[in-house]
Copies of this chain bind each other. A is one copy, B any other.
Amino acid sequence: MEEQGLLIVLSGPSGVGKGTVRKHLFDHYNNDFDFSISMTTRLKRAGEVEGVDYFFRTKEEFEQYIKEGKLLEYANYVGNYYGTPIDYVRETLDSGQDVFLEIEVQGALKVKKRMPEGIFIFLSPPDLEELKMRIKNRGTDSPEVIGQRMEKAVEELQLIKYYDYVVENDSVDEAARKIRSIIESEHLKVERNIDRFSKIIEEMK
């Protein structure tokens, strides 16, 4: 029997740098997992590419996906939908390949309900001032939206207890390296290797 792939879920407050850390992880570490691309109704930002950063869809198209049950999770966040297409995730895990999800906190908790065997990593800001700066420096949003994001961030930090691991994003490189350690370490758990080792023991007898 093929070993099942791991579902790795990276989440955390808005503005904490999930996307940057995820990109660094994929660019600088030799990873054996697929990155699951989210679907969203929010507007494309400068430099973002359809099918690479997100699948950008209209509200109507997104709601059609919801109706058809084609999303592992979805959330409405500051007026926009974000979600994860379910078929791709299931097929990849079944083939023994890991899947990496980078999603909003609401979405991560929904995934946890449906797939509690996933590895849930919370990317946290090193402190509040830093978080404020990151949200403000993004520069594309109004003061109202920034205010909503701050409140959301406090709410979201309180959800940390539902996660397996917490990584502080005090340095993008360190955060990416730590996430790599978590994934590697999870693969080394005895429960995931016991079948393979039972075979080795039989050969030694």
Which A residues are within 8 Å of any B CB, using their own CB?
122, 124, 127-128, 131, 153-154, 157-158, 160-161, 163-167, 178, 180-182, 184-186, 188-190, 193-194, 197, 200-201, 203-205
Contacts of A193 in B (CB 8 A): 166
Report how many copies the assembly holds: 2
Are B194 and A161 closer than 8 Å at their CB atoms? yes
Smallest Cβ-Cβ distance to A194: which chain B residue: B161
Closest beta carbon of chain B to A128's beta carbon, Å: 5
Main secondary structure of the interface of A (DSSP, over half): helix
Given contacts A154-B204, A190-B166, contact A160 B127 (CB under 8 A): no
Q: How far is the CA of A96 from the CA of B180 in the complex (A)?
A: 25
Please name all residues of chain B whose beta carbon is closer than 8 Å to the beta carbon of A188 when the two chains form the complex: 165-167, 178, 181-182
A127, A181, A184 pick with most chain B CB within 10 angstroms: A181
Instruction: Please judge, given known A-B contacts A161-B190, A178-B184, A181-B185, whether A166 and B201 are in contact too, CB under 8 Å.
Output: no
- A127 and B184 contact, CB distance less than 8 A: no
Q: Are B165 and A189 in contact (CB under 8 A)?
A: yes
* Contact sample, A vs B, 24 pairs, CB 8 Å cutoff: A127-B200, A128-B200, A128-B203, A128-B204, A131-B204, A154-B204, A157-B204, A158-B201, A160-B190, A160-B201, A161-B190, A161-B194, A163-B190, A164-B189, A165-B190, A166-B189, A166-B190, A166-B197, A178-B184, A178-B188, A181-B181, A181-B184, A181-B185, A185-B185
* Least CB separation from A188: chain B residue: B165
Known: A181-B184, A189-B164, A190-B164. A154 touches B205 (CB 8 A): yes
Most B CB atoms within 10 A — which of A166, A178, A205? A166
Rounded to whole angstroms, the CA-CA distance of A128 and B199 in the bound complex is: 12
